[in-house]
Structure 1
């Protein structure tokens, strides 16, 4: 997918948009922007960034393949969750509020690439249950913009 001669690690700006809905309630939309890195290794795209909060920081990694997205967060929030269409997956979510079991039923994954073959967006849709309670359906968009490298 990536031709030789390209930098292995790309600096990227990351826009995360999470939309959740439960029943007939209006959707709740959360947007966040980060700076991070994108690289491709052994058939998997890796997106790495740091979520900075007043209470501390969380190191986040999103592993993206055609049929699976894995979100790993360590720090103020800790979690590891796999999203695979048609497969229910389990994990845990640990924050200052405590630990919860996390189950997801992934409905869809869509990946987008630019003309050079670099990942530009990953979108995944899933139903979320925390501690066996239905929290709602989530649509997460992770949009990536590669930053130009200035050489002097």
Structure 2
């Protein structure tokens, strides 16, 4: 992707949570935008959260780490740095929760020729001092067909 470009993309988002021997999976498809400003790549999309409403998601990808910013019916700003523990807040219709993530895996790939890519993120999540499990997110994206 060239400097300062924007591309409409189709996203396939899968997430898994492993906790106490249980595994919970979610999958969704949506449209979004992939754009680049200098050395920073952004992935932007909307999602509907059952019982909460619409949420705007912006994922900022740099060489140093990933920042996820969510706004709307829930809000969150959380940084993910490989091998590090970072703190943040999660605001939902049910109140504000203190969160802490320890990032184990972070991988972003973009194939300019095929206009496809993926983002993988794996981390431990602690909410309000309670460990909620190992979370894995994989987002596949490709240029949206007009």
Same fold (TM over 0.5): yes
Any stretches of 5+ residues in structure 1 without a counterpart?
A: none
Match of 2:132 among 135, 141, 144: 135
Any stretches of 5+ residues in structure 2 without a counterpart?
A: none
The residue number in structure 1 matching 2:78 is 81
Consecutive aligned runs of 4 or more in structure 1 exceeding 2 Å deviation: 52-56, 115-119
SS in 2 for 1:27: strand
Question: Normalised by the size of structure 2, how large is the TM-score?
Answer: 0.89
Question: Normalised by the size of structure 1, how large is the TM-score?
Answer: 0.86
Q: What is the CA deviation profile of residues 113-152 of structure 1, one whole-angstrom value per residue up to 9, with x for unaligned ones?
A: 2153856111011000000110000111011111245xxx
Contact 1:80–1:92 (CA under 8 A) maintained in structure 2: yes
Question: What is the root-mean-square deviation in Å for CA atoms of aligned residues?
Answer: 2.0
**Correspondence 1:21 to 2:18:** yes
2: CA distance, partners of 1:83 / 1:117: 28
Contact 1:111–1:119 (CA under 8 A) maintained in structure 2: no
The residue number in structure 2 matching 1:144 is 141
Contact 1:12–1:146 (CA under 8 A) maintained in structure 2: yes
The residue number in structure 2 matching 1:46 is 42
The structure with the largest alpha-carbon Rg is: 1
1: CA distance, partners of 2:114 / 2:102: 29
**Correspondence 1:95 to 2:92:** yes
1: CA distance, partners of 2:89 / 2:115: 31
Contact 2:17–2:24 (CA under 8 A) maintained in structure 1: yes
Q: What is the CA deviation profile of residues 67-115 of structure 1, one whole-angstrom value per residue up to 9, with x for unaligned ones?
A: 3111101110100111110111000111111110010000111122215
Q: What is the CA deviation profile of residues 6-44 of structure 1, one whole-angstrom value per residue up to 9, with x for unaligned ones?
A: x92110011111111013x22111112211110011211
Contact 2:31–2:45 (CA under 8 A) maintained in structure 1: yes
| Structure number having the greater strand percentage | 2
